[in-house]
Structure 1
Amino acid sequence: MKKFTFSLKICAALVLYFVFLSFSTSGPAEEEAGYMQQKLTEHYNAESGPKNIKKYELHITDKGFCRYKRFFSNGKVEYFSCNLMKFKELDYLGNTHSGTLFLRTKGDDVIVQTYNDSRGGDIDSMSTFIAIPLKNLEAEDLIDLSDKFRQMSLKLHQ
């Protein structure tokens, strides 16, 4: 009887292991997310835009979310987030030295949250784009980024 109980415990442990393993797989677009994260971080232009930004966070997740957060020296925080399933197109205004990348969505699909704003307190709104300042971006990099955003959006729709 002890052998049967021991075998049953092992089988149950293996089943639980495989169940947990199946839920821990990476997202549908891990390669695209890694590439986009690396390129946007590499080309981010911290000197562009408002001068009182003390730090920023920019994340592209393999589950299809783009999150961009700016922390200002006066305590104000701006947070932009969207699901790349709603991605429409990329626009770039500028030159190879510096410019702004506009990640556009199909509708008002970008969540914009502002905290500690001296003019209005905490504000929640929606937008159709996220503007990210970039520098030293070649045409090939922009084409690659646009392709990766499209590929990720298509994979998320599957």
Structure 2
Amino acid sequence: MKKFTLCLKISLLSAFCMFLCAFSDPETITQSINFLQKTFTDHYDNSQESDQVKRYELNVTNNGFCRYKRYFNNGKTEYFAFKLSKFKDMDYYGTTTSGKLYIHTKGDDVIVQTYKDRGGDVDSMATQLVIPLKNMEAEDLNLIRDNLNKINAQVSAP
């Protein structure tokens, strides 16, 4: 009877734990994507390119893409895009006031398209995306890396 009671207690305890886990709120890919979008928008440094770039678009989409488009004063347009699941590593060169974030991918995974350039329209691939940022603390950079790694882990999990 003691053995039966022990097994019953273990079963009830594990069922209760499963019940609590079912209602926990794990971070989802959407939360990580929203964090990246907000961080890139809040910290984007337009002053690093203001004499050349008329406007820009920087979006992290719900389907897991980072898209960065720059419209130059001379009419040229540059478009960069990569799937967040292809993230490999990142580097930040600069100070807490101003710098550039280099996002590296696993291979030639960054789509680069140039429109209305003197050399014509060009489509190519690259291994990194460079984003000018301002007011970045080490903690902010760690959170960016953590969220990119979370997206990778959730996408590659079976």
Q: TM-score, normalised by structure 2?
A: 0.79
SS at match of 1:79: strand
Runs of 4+ in 1 over 6 A off after TM superposition: none
Alignment of 1:24-43 (within 5 A): 29-43=29-43
User: What number of residue pairs does the alignment pair up?
Assistant: 130
Which residue matches 1:80? 80
Aligned alpha-carbon RMSD (Å): 1.1
Shift of 1:50: 6.4
Which residue matches 1:61? 61
One-letter code aligned to 1:141: D
Deviations 1:91-132 (A, max 9, x none): 1001100000011001100000000002x1100110000000
Instruction: Tell me the distance in 2 between the aligned counterparts of 1:50 and 1:83.
Output: 27
Q: Which is higher, the Rg of structure 1 or of structure 2?
A: 2
SS at match of 2:47: coil
**Structure 1: gaps (5+ residues):** 1-27
Instruction: Tell me the distance in 2 between the aligned counterparts of 1:155 and 1:113.
Output: 29
SS at match of 2:63: coil
**Structure 2: gaps (5+ residues):** 1-27
Residues 1:157 and 2:156 aligned together: yes
SS at match of 1:149: helix
Is the CA contact (8 Å cut-off) linking 1:92 and 1:101 kept in structure 2? yes
Q: TM-score, normalised by structure 1?
A: 0.79
Deviations 1:118-157 (A, max 9, x none): 2x11001100000000001011100001100110111122
